[in-house]
Structure 1
Amino acid sequence: MTIKSKISFYISIIFTLLFGLICAIIIFIFSDFRKQEFEERLNEKAINTIKLLIEVKEIDNDILRIIDKNSINQLYDEKTLIFDENFNLIYSSLDDTKIKWTKSDLLYLKTHKSFLEKDKDHEIYGFFYDTNKKDYYALISANDNYGKRNLYFLIYLLTGSYILFTVLTWFLTFYIIKKQLIPLGNFHKKISEINDLNLEVTLESKQNSKNEISLLSNEFNFMMNRISDAYQKQKEFTAQASHELRTPIARISAQLENQIQAVDEKNKVIFKSLFSDIEQLKELINSLLILSKVDSRNNEKIEKTRVDEALYNSFEKIKKLFPDFKINFSMTDDEQLFDKLEINGNSKLIEIAFTNLLKNAYLYTDEKWVNVTITIHNNQMVLSFTNSGKTLSDEEVKTLFQPFMRGSNAKNTNGLGLGLRIVNRILQVSDYTISYNKETNLNTFIILF
C-alpha cells in the first residue's frame, strides 16, 4: 500500500470512528433523557391520581376512572394501581392491561420510595406516597410510544447520516489527498527518468513556497545540478586526457615499430611484446574516447541511419581485419521490414556497435563464423548475431555489459572488456535494447529496434 493510500485510509478510519462514537453518545444520552422524562410523567400521574383519590372527598373510584379515561396524555396501554398501607388494592384503572406485582415490590417501594423497571414493551413505575395519616403505593404500567418513536427516528436519522458521512468522508479524503500529492507523483516520475544518460531532469517548484514538496524539489534540483556538473567535468577530463594521450602513444608506437625492424632477433621479441602492449593501450584510449563521444551526443539533434547500410560498412571493416571470418547475413522478406530499416541514431556510432559485436563473434569462437539476421517480431525490428563457442554462466550474464567485464571464455584472448559496454551505451542513447541468449555452444546477441 502506498503512503498516499495509507494516509487516506487512516484519516477516513479516524473520522468514521469518531463520527460513529458521537452518534452512539447522542443516542445514549437521548435514550437516557427519554427514560427520565417518561419517569417524571409517570411520577406526576401517580401523585395526581393519589391526591384526587384521598384529598377530594366528592370523587369516588368510578368518577376517578372516568377522569383517568379522558385525561389527555401520550401514554398508551396505561394501567394504574393504588394500594393502601396494608397493601390492599383501593383503585384500579379501567383498561385490561395487567401489571405483574408482588408484595415484595411494595415493600421495596417503602424503603426506596420509587423504582422503574421494564416489562417487555411496557415500563412499570412504582411510587411511595407518605402522608401524615396513611401511606399509599402506586404502580403504573405504560408504553412510551411517543418517546420511543422519537428515539427510533433519531436512531434512523443518525444511522443514515453516519452512512452518508462515511461514504463522503472516504471519497473526499482519497480525492483531496490524491490531488494534493500530485506533485509527489510527478516527483517520483521525474526521478525514475534519471540515469547516467539523462541528468538534466529538473522539477517544477516555487522558490518562496514553504510547501514541503516544493522545498524538496528545490533541494533536489540543486543536488542534480551539482551531480550534473561533476559528471560533466568527469566526462570532459576523460575525453581530454584520452585525446592528449593519443599523440604520445602514437609516437611510441611508431618508434617501436621502426625499432623492431632494426634490432636483432633476440631483442625483436621484446620489442614486439612492448608494441603489443602499446597497441592495447591505444585501443583502450580509443574506447574511452568513443564512450565520451557517446555521452556527449545525448542532447544532439536526432539523426537517421539505415541499419542495412551500417551493417555492410561494418562487414567491410571486419573483413579487412579478419579475412578468414565468415559472415552469413539474412533478412526477412517483409514489406514492414523495409519501412523499419531506417532508425534514429548516429551512423558512425551504430557502425561502431555492429563492428564490436562482429569482432566479439570472431574472437570468442573457434570456427570463425557468425550468423547475422534481421527479422520482424511484434512490430519491432530484431537484429541478432549468433556464433558458436563457450557460453557464459548466469552470473557472468548479469554483469555482461559492465565496463572491463571479461568472461571465463576470454582467458586466452586479448581484450579490454569495453567492447560490449560501448555497444550497450550506443544503443541506450537511442532507447534501443540489447540482450544475450545462450544455447548449447551458441551465443546470441539480440538488438530490439
Structure 2
Amino acid sequence: MAHQLTAHLQQEDELEERAYVKVTWRLVPFLCLCFVIAFLDRVNIAFAKLQMVSELGWSEQIYGFGAGIFFLAYFICEVPSNLIMHRVGARRWIARIMISWAVLTGMMAFVHSTTAFYVIRFLIGAAEAGFFPGIILYLTYWYPAKRRSRVIATFMTAIPIAGVSGGILSGWILSTFHGEAGLSGWQWLFLLECVPSLIVGIAALFYLDDGIRNAKWLNEEARSRLIANIEAEAKSKQAVSVAAAVRRPAVWVLALAYFGAAMGQYGFGFWLPSIIKHMGVSSTMHVGLLSAVPYVFGIVAMLAVGRSADRSGEHRWHYLLPCAAAALGLVASALFSHQQAFSFGALTVACMGLQCLAPVFWRIPTSLLGGVAAAAGIALINSIANLAGFVSPYMIGWIVDRTGSTNFALYVIAAFLLLSAVVVFALPHSTERSQQSTT
C-alpha cells in the first residue's frame, strides 16, 4: 500500500513538472522577447546620444533630463496600469502597451527641439507604464512562489540579452545608416527599433492567454493541478485592499530598497556607451560592441544566482553580495579609469552584480501579496523605484556638465546600491520565513 501511494505521488509530481515545463516553454520565451524589445526601446536613447546631443547642440544635462522624464510618467501611470490589467486581462493590455510605445518611439526620430524631446519621452513613459510590473503580476497567475525566482530570473535575462543585442545592433545602425535618405544614424535608430515592438505587440493579442483557465493548450488534468497550486498559495497570502496594501510599511521599505538598485541599473544602462566613449573609444560600432560584453557575463551571473536562491530558499545574502559586487565594480572603474582594461573589467563585474538583483528581489513582494493587493503593491514598489530612472541619468548629466567626468556620479550610485543591500538585509526575518514556507 505504501509503495502504491509513493508511486502515485511520484506520478502526480511528474504530471505537475511536465505541466510547468509546458507553461514555461509556451510563455517565457515570448515574454523574454517582449522584454528584450521593451528594454531596447527604453535605452536606445543612450546610443542615440552618441550622435544626437552634439548634432542638436544639447548639453549632458538636457540629455539626462530627457532620458529620465520617461520615469516620471512611468511613476504616475504605473499603478493605474497594473490595476487595469488585473481587470481587463494581460493579453489585451500588454498588446496595448507595446503598440502604443512603438508608435511613440518612431516619433522620436523627428525630434529637434528640447520641448518635443521632453514631451515624447514623457509620453513613451506613460505608454510603457505597467509593462514590467504587469509581467511580474502575470507570472503570479501561473507559478507558485517556490518556482518564481527561477522563472523571473529567466525572464529577466532579457535585460542583458537586450544589452548584448542592443549594443551590437545600435552601433551597426548608427554607423551604417548615417546619412541615408537625408536622416542621421540616431533617427534611423528610432525608426528601425520601433518596428519589432509593433509586430510583437500585435502578436500578443493572438498568442497570450489571461491565465491558466484560458489556456486551451493545457489538458484538463494539468490545468486543474496548476489552478489548485495557485489557489492553495492564495490562501496563505494577505488578501487586502489596494488602500491597505499602499499603507503597509513593508511595501514602502521594499520600494526604498529597489530604488537603490534601480539607481545603479539605470545609471549603468543610460551611461555605459558614454563611459566607454570617454575611455577613448571613438568608433560608434566599437562602442556598441564593447557595450555588449558586460551583459554577456550578466546573463550567466543572473541565471546562476536565481537558481541558487531558489534551491537554498535564502534571499538576503543572494541580494546583498551582488549589490556589494556592483558597488565595488563601479567604484573601481572610476578609481582606475585611466587604466582602460582594468576599468572595463570593473564595469563588467558591476554589470554582473546589477543583473542579479531584480530576480531575487521580486520573490519577496510576490510572496507576501495576492490578488488586487499584488497588482497595487508590485506596481507601487516598481513605480517608486523607477523614479531612480529619472534621478540617476539627470544626476549623472548634471555632474558630468560640472566636473567633466562620470567618476563622482559612480561613487554616488555605489552608495545607493549599498543602501539597498542594507535595507533588504535588515528586513524582519519573518519575511524570509514566509518565503521559505511556500517552497
| Shared fold, TM over 0.5 | no
Greater strand percent: which structure? 1
Q: Sort the TM-score into its range (normalised by shorter chain).
A: under 0.3
Q: TM-score, normalised by structure 1?
A: 0.18
Radius of gyration: which is bigger? 1
**Is the helix fraction higher in 1 or 2?**
2
Under a length normalisation based on structure 2, what TM-score does the superposition of the two structures give? 0.19
Of the two structures, which has the highest relative contact order with CA contacts closer than 8 Å and spacing of 6 or more? Answer: 2
